[in-house]
Structure formats: structure tokens, C-alpha cells
Amino acid sequence: MTRAGSGSLPRYIFQRIVLVIPMIWVILTLVFFVLRVAPGDPVSAALGSKLNPQALAQARERLGFNRPLIAQYWDYLSSVAHLDFGTTFSDNQPVLRVVRDNGGATLSLTLAAFVIALAVGIPLGLVAGRYRDSVGDVAIRLFGIVSYAAPIFFVGFLLQLYVAPPLGLPTSGDASPITIFEVKPKTHILLIDVFLSGNGAAIQDVLKHLVLPAVTLGLLICGVFIRLVRVNMLMTMQADYVEAAEARGIRRRNVTWRHAFRNALVPVITVVGLQFALLLGGAVLTETTFNWPGLGQKLVLYINNRDYGAVQGIVTVFAIAVVLISLLVDIINALIDPRVRF
Amino acid sequence: MDRTKKLVAVAGTAAVVAMLSACGGSNSSSGGSTNAGTGSPWILGTTDTVTALDPAGSYDLGSSTLEYNLYQTLVTVPPNSTKIVGDAAKSCTYNDPQTLTCTLNPGEKFSNGDPLTSSDVKYSFERAIQIQDANGAAIYLLGSITDTAKNGKVTLNKGAIETPNDTTVVFHLDHPDTTFQYVLTYPGAAAIVDEDVFPADKKLPDDQVIGSGPYKLDQYKAADQATLSLNPDYTGPNPGKTGQVFVKYYSDPTALALAAKNNEVDVAWRSLAPTDVANLKKDSGVTVATGKGSEIRYWVWNVAGQVGKQLAIRQAAAQVIDRNAIATKAYDGTVDPLYSIVPPGYGGQKDSYKNAYGSPDPAKAKQILQAAGISTPVNLTVGWTPTHYGPSTEDEANELQRQLEASGLFKVTLKSTEWDNYQTVYKQGAYDLFILGWFPDYPDADDYLSPFMVDGGFFQNGYKNAKVDKLVSKEQGSSSTATREKIFGQLQDIAAHDVPFIPSWVGQNTAVYGPGMSGVESTLDPSFIFRFWLVTKAG
């Protein structure tokens, strides 16, 4: 006998995929209209004030800005549906090429930050939960709150000023100029390309450059993991099965790590997708602080240039990435925990 | 448990392998491959952005910094001079004010070995005009050899460029114009490209460009890094010494300042915030070098407006403004007061505003207003823009407001909006007085006068003066330096009397460099050309 049907994994995955479409549509619509209602003329802003009115009119026509708004909107949706995210106004680059050339750096930074956040957040959360209300618990909770609340550029700046010099760590970029010059792009992700090159000095150089930005960004979300793991640890430690295990005479340490720990980690997977979105947002600030050549820094550059074409394209790619990663996390979560399929 | 152990073991092994491989080499930043050249590779850090490395698509300092080193122009400007000398050409000489003849150096080559001939020169101008890129300089600066149709289309005048032989180029100008020789020094308008490499009707991708300059481009990653090495085929007058030069691009001045402080870049040039420069001056690990600059800020009157059309109000404000206070309070002394729209260092420059108004004096300003029967305080709407000219613009606007109101003669309302909107609304008369900046296209005082004073200026502030138009036409048509400089002086005096704008300050050309560097000071001049060939790093 099957249950109401909604518990089927394929059906769940299908429902989630179908839901992605309106989500992306809403985001695309917001991106499009928010940029259109912003004050100023994007064409004259991107192409400078030196254009004469005739040339400006030509540029506006070429870029489609003289067409009715609804026609522009339809063109935009059609283009995105064909995976054409447009072209930047100011330097005439296809947005997808900008994403390819800079997305790798953002991905490396984001993943490294994730690893740091998990490596720091989960153990600290477990310790805090295990030793509730101890001095250690209070200190860890305080650390979690501060790391989450502190402005990212401020944390980055402190690390640049006080941590980088004594440890000899670089404060800017993803590699030294000579490494960037010598490592030939194969995947367009320097962190991978440098390992593929087998150049030990270059690997060391890239890893050294990664430390401070990844720590800065990782600290941003490790507080979330600390809190989440701590709370779940407390809840599972009070669960009946833990008490039952203890009643059966299993040592407290084994109960903690074999039973409570595993169950406390399940909700972490649930919030990974949400945290990824937060990380991408944080990456914009981190990349600017550390001159990290990623998509976030590029986005800031285009915003400063009032290049609405580029901003629209990059934000769209960002948004789609977040939605798709959320979908992936939901599916993984459903695979691990059948309860979420309902 | 077994699975967990396995995972830990795999992860641990991977980490150890990574660390072992990482420790296997020396610090890559300290060395690296170099081509020929005696100096060590060095790194220039900058916040300037590059629009395009194809000269047909650029009209900005970030692009031209590389272009000056990658390409040759027919003529160029030596450091700390406004005198024009040969580059790819032995010389360019006016046969008459409408005909300029340039003779190329024999044996000129591009970095791919192709010969550089007069045909390449002609092709370079033709394609820049043909491509007509909105971000290119050709359609703005080559007016003497082009015609603009009503629809905005720019075309090269028929017969404007002749090439009687492989080493001779003759420009036929459509009106007497001695400023054209200065335009030829600017790569955005006049860099010479290889006709066998650059397409006629579109830009070449940035990472594929080649030129005949002292350096060639080995690698270009937009907004990240450019790598240059010595051009083995260069035979011109400015051979470089350093085999390899890196240019690192920064998005934030503070990140650049930190990189300079930690010696992650050897030279930091354009643009550091005034507070960062002040801090770096206290740092013994770096040297702050300063040369004359040519970037200016000035306040424009809306002469067509109800307030700005009254000469006495414009003059009274000019009488009140204390430029020294603006330079020290808003910019930490990193800029110099400016008393003419033409900055010091240009032939014919004259501190006309200082001569006309002397020191700031509210009492004199009051007399000017009283004599004109204007009741005080005069209400002024002053416009500024927050990000385009940097964060100190707000401090300047606040200081200007303080000074004007402290005189008791003005009541100032400050208004700001972002640049994209600002440049539209100031032309619509939204402000009585508004701030703008200027960076020269070519090293001649004309570039600070004709765009500002003829026909309401490029900012369309409503100022018109037939005498000015006549004088500008006369100086542009004269080949006599003495005559031109005399006219420049007259134009500056007229500006100080009519006050269509109030000059505020001229920026310094500042660079911060680390240990072992030499030659940086040599290139810090008002041209803002960073000549890589003059800079070396010991070791």
C-alpha cells in the first residue's frame, strides 16, 4: 500500500523542478524592472558624456532602449531562455564570457569559505551543545554572533592589517602576477588549473592568496552553523532514543558522537542552499576588499560604470545559480531524509 | 565508522599531498621568467580601468596607459615637456596651418616583425573613423580631417591623408589647426596599428593586440592583470630596460594602498585616496613621489539661469572662494589650488583669477554685489555628484558651502545625484553652480580653453562671447607659439572677468613605490603618461 503519493521521490523532484520555473521568472522580472526604474539613462551613463545626441540616439537604438518596455522585457526573457544573457555596454563583452572568466574565482572562494565555515562551525556547535552553559559554550556563542554580525569588509580589513604581515600572507588578488602569467587556463578555475599544472610554487602561491578571503567569508556563515548545530545537538541529546541508549548503559561519549552528532547534522544540509546564496552576496564584498578577481568584483565594477546590461546579465546568472543550487540541496535532502518529501 | 575513517584518511592524504607539492618550490612572486632586459620584473598597481586595448575603441587613461607602451604614435611628448618630438616619425612639420607632413623613421617594425609603413598609418586613422566606436577618441578628436553628418555619422574627408611613399604621410586639414599635431600624440586617436592584423571594421580583441611600441602584450585578463615584455623589434627612441612588466588592476583604492604598503605591487599609481597617501607618507617601507598634474576640478555657472546670468554674483563668488582651504581640508593637501582653467606647466598659462581677485575677500565681494544692486544673501543651488569624482567631492562641496555662507552673502543649498543623472540634469539647469572635472586630451592649453569657452562649452552652460570664439579660431590657426600663448593669456583673462566657471584645484601626479625601484619620478608629469621604459627594479 502506498501513502498519499506525495512521498514519492521522483514526484517530489518533479514538483521542485516545476517550481523553479516561476521562481526564476519572478527573479528575472524583478531584475529587469528594478534596473529600468532606476534614475538616469543607462546608455549615456555607460557610454560616457562625450557622445553627441545623434550618436547617443544611435547607441540607444542599437541597444534596443528606444523600444517599448514590454517589448524589451519580452526580448530579455526570450534571450535568457536561449541562454543568451546579453552583452556588456561598456566593454562589449558577452555576459557569459564574463561569467566564465570570473566565475571560477568566485566559485573557488565560495567553496573554500564553505569548507572553513563547516570546519569551524560544526565542531564548535557540537562542543557548545555538548557542554551547554559552560564558559566554552558562552564563548562559542559569542564568537558565532560576532562573526555573523561583523561587517565583512571590516573583518577583512582587520585581517589584512594585523594577520597578513606577520604570517606573510598576501592581501590582494588570487595569485601573484607571475603565477597568473605562467599557469595556462584549462578550466578557467585557477585553483584547479594550478593543480593541473603541477607547479609546486604556483600551488603554494594560490593557496596563500586564498587564506584570508576564504577565512573572512567563512566567518560570515560559520556563526549560523554554530547556532544550528548547537540547537540540534541540545534537542537530540534530550531525545528519547538518547536517553534510552544511556539507560542501556552505552557510554555517554559514544551516545554523543554516534547518535546525537549524526542527527544534529541533518538540518545543516537543509540550510546549505540558503547559506550559499548568502555566501554569494558576501563574496561581492569580500572580493572587493581583497581585490579578488571574481564575479562579485566585476559586478561592482559594472555597477560603478552604470553598465546596466552587464549588471542585469550577471545578477540573472547569480539568481539562476542560487535557485538551481537550492533545488539541488532540496533533492539531496530528500534523498537523505524521506520526511521532507511530504 | 569505517566509512568515516576512510573519508578522513582520504582527505588527510589529499591535504598532505597538496602541502608537500605546495612546499616543493620557491616563492613564485619573487622571481619568474623574464625576457631580455637588465632590470627585474616589476608590478604596477592601479585602479584605472581599461575600456579597450584596440586604440579604435578607447578614450580613457586606463587604456592609454598600456597603449602608450604598446603602440607608437607619429609624434610624442617627452617627460616634463609640452614640446612635440618624433616617435614613429622622425618629425611632423606644418607646411602651412592646414598641411602637416610626417616622415617615418626607416626600418620601423611591429612586434610581429611586420614593417611599419605610411600605409599602416593611413589605415590606422581610416579604421578608427570607420569603426566609430562610441568609446573611441577618433570621432571626437579628429575633427580637422573628418566630417560629421546630421545623423551623427563621422566620415574621413576625401583626400585628408596622403601617402606619397612608404615613409611619408601628409595630413590635409579642413581648417587651419595647429592643435592637430598634439592630437597625433594621443594613442586613442592616433596609435599606429598593423593593417595585416587589425580588422578594418571592428575592434581586435584586447588580448590579441600588437603594436610597435617598446613593449608587447603577452597576456591580458580584463580587470585583473596585463603582462608585457620587451618588444624585440622596437627600434624607436624609448627602448625599455625591464624584460617583463605586470599591471595589476584594483577595484578599490584602499586595497591598492594596502598592496603598496605590503610591497605586493612595486608601484601604485592612480588612484590612491588622499588619506591613504597621507598614511603612506609616514611608512618608511615605501616612497611617495609627486609630480605636476593636469587633472582639474572646477565649478561651472549656469549662465543661462536666473542667478548665474548676473555677472556680479559670479564675480562675488569667485572673490570669496578660498582654494587653499579646499585643497587642505577636503583633499589633505594632495591637490594644488588652481587659479586658471589652464593648469601650471602649459605654455601661455596665466593665474588670471588670482590676478583679478587676489586673496579671498568677502568685503570686496560685498562691494561687487552692492554696486550691482543685488540684495544678499543670494540663494544658490549648488550641484555635485557623490562617486564619479571620488569621495572627497562631498568634502569639497561642503567646504564651498561653508565658505560662501561664512561670507554672509550667499545661502547655499547643496544637491547631489549620481553621475548618470547628474550629467543630464546639470545641462537642464538644475543647479546655479555645479562641479565638473577635466583631464586633457593633448598637452596644449587649447585643450583647456576651446572646450570650455566656445559656444557654451561642452557643458552647455549658456556662456557665449564672440570675442572668445574669434580668439580661439585665431590661436588654432596660428603656427606662432608666441602668438598662441599671447591669445591663451587673453582668453584666461576674459574667463576671470566673465567667470563662466571657477577653477578649484589641479591634482598632483602621485605614485607610491617600494624598495629597489628607480625612474618613477621621471615619468610623473602633467601628461599622465606612465612610461614603463623609464622605470626599473634593482635585483
Each residue of B131-161: pLDDT tens digit? 988 788 998 899 999 999 887 789 999 999 9
Neighbours of B229 (CB within 10 A): 23
B5 close contact with A: CB closer than 8 A: no
Name the least confident of A174-188, B24-38, B74-88: B24-38
Q: Quick check: B119 pLDDT over 90?
A: yes
Test B139 with A55 for CB contact under 8 angstroms.
Answer: yes
At A112-147, the pLDDT tens digits run: 999 999 999 989 998 998 888 999 999 999 999 999
Residue A167, class by beta-carbon neighbours within 10 Å (0-12 exposed, 13-18 middle, 19+ buried)?
exposed
Predicted confidence at residue A178, as pLDDT, reads 96
Q: Read off the pLDDT band of B36 (50, 70, 90).
A: low
Test A172 with B258 for CB contact under 8 angstroms.
Answer: yes
Test B29 with A178 for CB contact under 8 angstroms.
Answer: yes
At A263-272, the pLDDT tens digits run: 777 677 777 7
User: What is the Cα–Cα distance from B369 to B536, expressed in whole angstroms?
Assistant: 57
Predicted confidence at residue A5, as pLDDT, reads 43
Neighbours of B83 (CB within 10 A): 9
Predicted confidence at residue B29, as pLDDT, reads 36
Q: What percent of chain B has pLDDT over 70?
A: 93
Q: Quick check: B215 pLDDT over 60?
A: yes
User: B169: which strand partners?
Assistant: B102
Q: Give yes or no for a contact between B224 and B249, defined as CB atoms under 8 angstroms apart.
A: yes
Q: Quick check: B453 pLDDT over 80?
A: yes
Name the least confident of A64-68, A204-208, B97-101: A64-68
Q: Is the ipTM of this complex over 0.85?
A: no
User: What is the Cα–Cα distance from A2 to B512, expressed in whole angstroms?
Assistant: 74
Place of cell 542552499: A273
B26 close contact with A: CB closer than 8 A: yes
Residue B200, class by beta-carbon neighbours within 10 Å (0-12 exposed, 13-18 middle, 19+ buried)?
exposed
Q: Read off the pLDDT band of A172 (50, 70, 90).
A: very high
| Region label for A38, one of left (φ > 0), alpha (ψ between -120 and 50) or beta (otherwise) | beta
Residue A277, class by beta-carbon neighbours within 10 Å (0-12 exposed, 13-18 middle, 19+ buried)?
middle
Helix (H) or strand (E) holding A262: helix A261-289
When pLDDT is averaged across residues B185-204 and rounded to a whole number, the result is: 97
Predicted confidence at residue B199, as pLDDT, reads 98
Question: Sign of dihedral through CA atoms B105, B110, B114, B119?
Answer: negative
What the block records as the C-alpha cell of B166 is 612608404
When pLDDT is averaged across residues B489-510 and rounded to a whole number, the result is: 97
When pLDDT is averaged across residues B497-526 and rounded to a whole number, the result is: 96
User: What is the Cα–Cα distance from B54 to B75, expressed in whole angstroms?
Assistant: 19
Name the least confident of A182-186, A235-239, B490-494: A235-239
> Which of residues B422 and B431 earns the better pLDDT score?
B431
Helix B481-498, helix B466-477: angle, nearest 10: 160
Helix (H) or strand (E) holding B62: helix B61-70
Distance in Å, alpha carbon of B73 to nearest chain A alpha carbon:
23
Predicted confidence at residue A35, as pLDDT, reads 82
A253 close contact with B: CB closer than 8 A: no
B3 close contact with A: CB closer than 8 A: no
At B221-246, the pLDDT tens digits run: 988 999 999 999 999 999 999 999 99
Test A288 with B252 for CB contact under 8 angstroms.
Answer: yes
pTM for this one?
0.86
When pLDDT is averaged across residues A179-207 and rounded to a whole number, the result is: 95
Return the CA Rg of chain A: 24
Predicted confidence at residue A13, as pLDDT, reads 86
Predicted confidence at residue A47, as pLDDT, reads 64
| Region label for B313, one of left (φ > 0), alpha (ψ between -120 and 50) or beta (otherwise) | alpha
Residue B143: which of B176, B121, B170, B168 has the closest Cα?
A: B176
Helix (H) or strand (E) holding B424: helix B419-425
Name the least confident of A48-57, A223-232, B13-22, B261-270: B13-22
Predicted confidence at residue A180, as pLDDT, reads 96
User: What is the Cα–Cα distance from A148 to B355, expressed in whole angstroms?
Assistant: 59
CA B390-B395-B397 angle, to 5 degrees, is 95
Q: Read off the pLDDT band of B18 (50, 70, 90).
A: very low
Q: Residue A202 has what DSSP assignment?
A: H
User: In which order are the strands placed within the sheet that holds B42-46?
Assistant: B215-221, B225-230, B244-249, B42-46, B267-269, B509-513, B287-291
Residue B427, class by beta-carbon neighbours within 10 Å (0-12 exposed, 13-18 middle, 19+ buried)?
middle
In degrees and rounded to multiples of 5, residue B307 shows phi and psi of -85, -50
Q: Read off the pLDDT band of A212 (50, 70, 90).
A: very high
Q: Quick check: B430 pLDDT over 80?
A: yes
Identify residue B2 by its one-letter amino acid code. Answer: D
Q: Quick check: B169 pLDDT over 80?
A: yes
Q: What percent of chain B has pLDDT over 90?
A: 80
Name the least confident of A307-321, B283-297, B481-495: A307-321
3-class DSSP assignment, residue B167:
coil
At A290-311, the pLDDT tens digits run: 999 999 989 888 887 778 888 8
Q: Quick check: A185 pLDDT over 50?
A: yes
Q: Give yes or no for a contact between B55 and B71, defined as CB atoms under 8 angstroms apart.
A: yes
> Which of residues B18 and B304 earns the better pLDDT score?
B304
Question: Sign of dihedral through CA atoms A69, A70, A75, A77?
Answer: positive
Q: Do the bridges between strand B501-507 and strand B433-438 make them parallel or antiparallel, or are there none, so unpaired?
A: unpaired
Neighbours of B395 (CB within 10 A): 16
Predicted confidence at residue B7, as pLDDT, reads 40
Residue B265, class by beta-carbon neighbours within 10 Å (0-12 exposed, 13-18 middle, 19+ buried)?
buried
Name the least confident of A163-172, A317-326, B351-360: A317-326
Predicted confidence at residue A52, as pLDDT, reads 64
User: What is the Cα–Cα distance from B136 to B131, expressed in whole angstroms?
Assistant: 9
List B residues 446-475 in contact with A (Cβ-Cβ < 8 A). 458
Q: Read off the pLDDT band of B3 (50, 70, 90).
A: very low
What the block records as the C-alpha cell of B383 is 550641484
Distance in Å, alpha carbon of A31 to nearest chain B alpha carbon:
19
Q: Quick check: B31 pLDDT over 50?
A: no
Predicted confidence at residue A64, as pLDDT, reads 79
Helix (H) or strand (E) holding A220: helix A200-237
Residue of A40, A47, A160 with shortest CB distance to B135: A47
Predicted confidence at residue B521, as pLDDT, reads 97
At B290-348, the pLDDT tens digits run: 999 999 999 999 999 999 999 999 999 999 999 999 999 999 999 999 999 999 989 99
What the block records as the C-alpha cell of B243 is 624584460
List B residues 127-146 in contact with A (Cβ-Cβ < 8 A). 134-135, 139-140
Test A306 with B27 for CB contact under 8 angstroms.
Answer: no
Residues of A within 8 A of B27 (CB-CB) are: 201, 204-205
CA-nearest residue to B19 within chain A is A204
